[in-house]
């Protein structure tokens, strides 16, 4: 997948997390998760995303919080790896860093 497609998906995901999640359309959240599942199916994140999707469908807030926290940590590691290897665009790293922070903040707000 190209950087521009990844950035587009990141922008959509970031936009979702910047809004009031209590008002967010769960169908939109599920659709975004499924896009990420497709892109990340060969990674450790696939299982986390599948579990998050199920937790949202089951309205399990504590599980959602825990999964968002773990995803935030994973995304943060990805940013560190990108910066260390100098791969990926600066914009991609910046967006991933923003997403990592939003995942962590949202996780804490759900506790």
Q: Is the pLDDT of residue 2 over 80?
A: no
The reported pLDDT for the residue numbered 89 is: 61
Contacts of 44 (CB under 8 A, 6+ apart): 74
Contacts of 93 (CB under 8 A, 6+ apart): 79, 82, 83
| DSSP per-residue string spanning 2-21 | -HHHHHHHHHHHHHHHHS-G
Write out pLDDT tens, residues 60-99: 999 999 999 999 999 999 888 887 876 656 788 888 899 9
Give the per-residue pLDDT at 106. 93
User: How much is the pLDDT for 7?
Assistant: 82
pLDDT confidence of 57, banded at 50, 70, 90? very high
1 pLDDT above the threshold of 70: no
pLDDT tens string 34-49:
999 998 888 888 999 9
């Amino acid at each position: 997948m190209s950087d521009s497609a990844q950035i587009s998906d990141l922008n959509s995901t970031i936009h979702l997390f910047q809004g009031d999640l209590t008002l967010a359309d769960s169908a939109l959240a599920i659709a975004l998760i499924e896009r990420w599942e497709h892109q990340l199916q060969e990674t450790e994140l696939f299982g986390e995303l599948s579990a998050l999707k199920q937790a949202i469908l089951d309205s399990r807030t504590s599980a959602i919080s825990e999964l968002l926290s773990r995803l935030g940590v994973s995304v943060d590691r990805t940013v560190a790896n990108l910066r260390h290897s100098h791969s990926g665009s600066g914009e991609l790293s910046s967006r991933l860093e923003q997403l990592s922070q939003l995942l962590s903040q949202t996780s804490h707000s759900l506790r």
